[in-house]
Chains A and B, each alone.
Chain A
């Protein structure tokens, strides 16, 4: 008697989550697929293959390149996070909390606040960055430098959570392990490579995967700082899709691009969350 009733209430309990998943994830994904095999303007789509012909335009490849660049430039920040966590080991707890908090503040300002501030700092003649560095760099107008500038704006706020996360891993390593290693004649670098990094490997993989994802999904700083320019150098795939759909009005082509984007990022997503299959 227990089981039937229990199960029924069980399905009722999971219903809101599952129905919302169907409505806002599964249905849109299928709709996106069907939209890419249609053509026309909003409200009057007809079945057609024409949109796919427009997907692989020169701008698409420029966006692929820009996304790749962003991903590549994101990677050093993972390294910085690892370095900070390794550096914090064996230091007084109060100091570490201070550093963690300082690095978390930019996370709270991520998106619009950070973009507005950096836009000001990047200004070539009146910005403080050139003043401090004594340079005359065009931070947002030079196609070679703009992707780096945009990445910095996006990447600094990712450090805070990542460092919290990595610290929970290093906190599990007993201090005696390091003492033992030192007694055995193991230097600082050796104990970093032999003890700390192996423990951190899963987080580092996670961080690398999310850095790769961030590259192609970069949006707020692109919109607020460069608008995809100069010469499409900062046009991430998400920006291209937004631009095609909502500025150009070509929804089918944008849908096609987003399907390619999804397929391309699927391996990264699987890498990000691969352990779910084992753990659940």
Chain B
């Protein structure tokens, strides 16, 4: 049996190709890793992972910074509302750039649709608005321009007011408006006016007029000029002081406006 077994198994030998393949395999994996395989297993992988980690970190950082920057840029930090009828509101970011524009009435919509204000500084945007208001015929020499400023940052609020007072004074000099009034409003007034979709100046003027004439309401005065509202307020007080009769005109206008008819200040 031993002889038979030996004779049979003697025929089985490792093929030269098998030996060579095995040697090549060992050479490639162990003895002489080529730059390709060596790099794959020893160099490129750590580098690859290191690069991936760095790249991923950068992407995360960029996303974080981008998200932070985006939020910073598009977060309203101050509000500038212009009212002369047209009535328009500007939201500013902390970089003093306009990030949104809103028209409080039809006249305001007419103006904001004619100018591109977003991403401009509030000074440039305000100047463009006043020019457009004047060009469109809404501002005549006897109209008063009222600008309110609201910001949680008192310093910034003061800075904006001072800058606008200086910039807009030229409007009076150029006889575009009779006078310019720029003043601060608190956040509750801004919020209340915002909820009624009117400018803070208009909100305050109507509130004051409503004290002496309860028939005046916000909707009725939406498309009146501030000058008209204030004039009506003055007229009511004067009438109450003389013969206790309410004048007709602005009051009727406010009431008619509330019923849907349109009145323009000019």
Do A and B bind? no
